[in-house]
Structure 1
Amino acid sequence: MFSKKNSMLLILLILMPIFLFACGNDNTEGIEAKSSDDSIGIRFAHEESQGDVQDLYANKFKELIEEETEGRITVDIYTTGTLGGNDDMFTQLQTGAVDMAITSPGFTGSVIPQTQIMNIPFLFSNNPEVNRKVLDESEALYGTLADKYEEKGLEIFKFWTEGSMYWTGNKEITEPADMKGLKMRGMPTSMIMESYKLMGADPQATDTGEIYTMLQTGGIDGQENPLFFIYNSNFHEVQDYLMDSKHHIYITATVANSEWFSSLAEEDQKLINEIMQEVNDWSFTMQQEEEDKALTEIKKSDLEIIELTEDQRESFKELVAPIRDVYIETGGDGAEEILKIIEQDIQAAEEELK
């Protein structure tokens, strides 16, 4: 029978190799570095439902990277609500609970206030090719703004658009008088809420899952969203008018947890970036096709479609002009520089693509 002293010695001898291994492991406080031969499972989350634009984007990435690596890299996709709300998903991305995500600046503005630039109405062009060029190349986005993401532990791949935003309402909205007092639902961000106040509306930060019921019961009078989302969510069933207002485009971003991404082999980092560019190029055509399909189906409904004239659009644009000053005041360090460069990039792209 062992004495207590001998028993303690035996335990120490058993535990010593484990202790030495732990002390010698350089990656215990981070994510273990991988080689280009390792199998990788990517947890990829997004904010929309199955079949929506973000889901099509994520599945295209999954298809291309799994094909390119012959299954060495696999992708599991999590749709909205699977891992909680949009705020939960952003937190999980920062903590590494998910590796990659499509997350809209509207939901990151409280953490990265500079991203509120994406919520300024009438900032971007009516020309989709102009917006494509700016979102793909602007130094404001991939320099100054990308640095702000990096400070929060996030790696930006691409900013991209899901298409033009449309208004729906239970009455026509063609001039500021029509907006006065209207209970208008917009993404719950300070920039969007303030913009609708400037237009004379009574902005409502209704949860996405409650929009249909609130429109149906009169809890809200109207809302804004890309056309594919309006159709997929059946808002055309509970609204009388659809306004092609061209007041804004819906912009989102594909990002990764920085620590996870930097742990990958350089070859895999390069591959992911290359495929992400390919998916991004494809996405501009895809979202236009989705918008066209939605419009075709909506035209079969009783919804009356109204296209605002340039003069009508200008009247709303003048009302919300002060929102750019609000962004400079509340957008944090570098906000004024980001806005200035974006405006210059849009103007230069419009001149180039005339």
Structure 2
Amino acid sequence: MNKLRNTVVFIIVALAIGVAVAFFTTGNALTEEITTIRFGHGSAESNERHIAVMHFKELVEGKSDGQIEVQVYPNEQLGSEAEMIESVTFNDLQMVAASAFSQYDQRISVFELPYLFDTYEEAWDVLDGEIGKEVAAPFLEDNLRIIAYFENGFRHITANKNIENPEDLRGLKIRTPEFPISISTFSSLGANPTPMAFGELYMGLQQGTVDAQENPIANTYASKFNEVQDYLIMSSHQYMPLPVAISEEFWQSLTAKEQAIIEESALEAAQFHRNLLTENEEKMIEELEEAGMTIVYPDTELFKERIDRVYEAFKGRFGDEFVDQVIQAAE
């Protein structure tokens, strides 16, 4: 009987231990549930933007020991830039890297004023400083928390004719993004700005719907516009950052540790993107020239003489003080 009783006791203890192990294992599994971030952007997989977003994914997943998963959707898979930003406002998408934030607050377009910056370093100092934070703050009202500024770069013109001064732009049908400052800039230079979705641009150039386009070197290179354009004009007419935003609703659902990992990784990836793009630009220009493009370096002072009204219009809307503050910071 004692032997039987001891056996029963042993079985009961073993079962109890098993239940306890199962309970604590299940509890840990619940506390270590994976957090998923869906991250959309509009560039091709060959673009530095995608490489930078994938670097962000690597950083976040590494720092979180795999407890935060980043799913990346490039090449406008989830819609246009404007549509993806809207998805973030609804918390249907967690993160986006895009340029079309001015639809919610046009003050962010101040960075796009023509010839505001002469160098990348000038732009980065402003974006990473108090003005960058000040401009980002109003987007919280639309559920958009801007946590970093990735790189879009300086924009340059491609065309099937040589362009050395504003007179060469007169009447030229040039594709621009549907941003007020982009349209205003080329109108002031005498061109005929024609907004068109980026995904339609190659065919638009190929079919002659538009005669020219303007984009950062990386976009021109990755999209192979050299196949349908003969000239690359190094106009440097606008600088554009690439804000990276996360849904504020999603952000508030995260732990402080998760927030720190994401923000830290975004800032690291932003600098990675900046370095990658600037280091590769010269090589991309050389390869575009080898592929048959003629590289033109116009006298940009001639273009700067024509853009006063763009500044006046922006000041008229948002005030001299705000614009002058940005100009002073850029200097």
**TM-score of the alignment, normalized to the shorter chain, above 0.5:** yes
Give the counterpart of 1:283 among 251, 257, 273. Answer: 273
Displaced runs of 4+ in structure 1, greater than 6 A? none
Question: How much identity, in percent, do the aligned residues show?
Answer: 28
| Equivalence for 1:108 | 101
Q: 1:163·1:291 contact (CA, 8 Å) conserved in 2? A: no
Q: How many residues align?
A: 302
Query: Are 1:272 and 2:262 counterparts?
Result: yes
SS in 1 for 2:103: coil
The residue that corresponds to 1:85 in the other structure is 80
Aligned to 1:241: 231
Question: Over residues 149-176 of structure 1, what are the superposed CA-to-partner deviations in whole Å (9 max), with x where a residue is unaligned?
Answer: 1121111111232222111111111111
For residue 197 of structure 1, report the CA deviation from its aligned partner.
Answer: 0.8
Deviation at 1:80, TM superposition (A): 3.0
| Structure 2 unmatched runs, 5+ | 1-29
State the Cα distance separating 1:118 from its structure 2 match.
2.9
Q: Which runs of 5+ in 1 are unaligned?
A: 1-34, 348-354
Q: Name the TM-score, length of structure 1 as normaliser.
A: 0.81
1:132 aligned onto 2:124: yes
1:14 corresponding residue in structure 2: none
- Give the aligned partner of residue 52 of structure 1: 47
- AA matched with 1:167: I
Please say if residues 36 and 268 of structure 1, whose CA atoms lie closer than 8 Å, have aligned partners that are also in contact.
Answer: no
| Superposed counterparts of 1:328-347, under 5 Å | 328-331=315-318, 336-347=320-331
Q: Secondary structure at the match of 2:56?
A: helix
- SS for the counterpart of 2:204 is helix
**Distance (whole Å) between structure 2 residues aligned to residue 329 and residue 50 of structure 1:** 40
Match among 195, 211, 217 for residue 201 of structure 2? 211
Aligned: 1:319 with 2:309: no
Structure 1 equivalent of residue 290 of structure 2: 300
- 1:166 aligned onto 2:156: yes
User: How do residues 173-192 of structure 1 correspond to structure 2 at under 5 angstroms?
Assistant: 173-192=163-182
Q: Find the aligned partners of 1:262 and 1:271 in 2 and give their Cα distance.
A: 14
Contact in 1 for aligned 2:126/2:330 (Cα 8 Å):
yes
Secondary structure of the corresponding residue to residue 147 of structure 1: helix
What is aligned with 2:63? 68
Tell me the secondary structure at the aligned position of residue 342 of structure 1.
Answer: helix
2:14 matched residue in structure 1? none
Contact 2:60 2:262 in 1 (8 A): yes
1:152 aligns with 2:139: no
Give distance in 1, aligned partners of 2:81 and 2:146: 18
Letter in 2 for 1:109: S
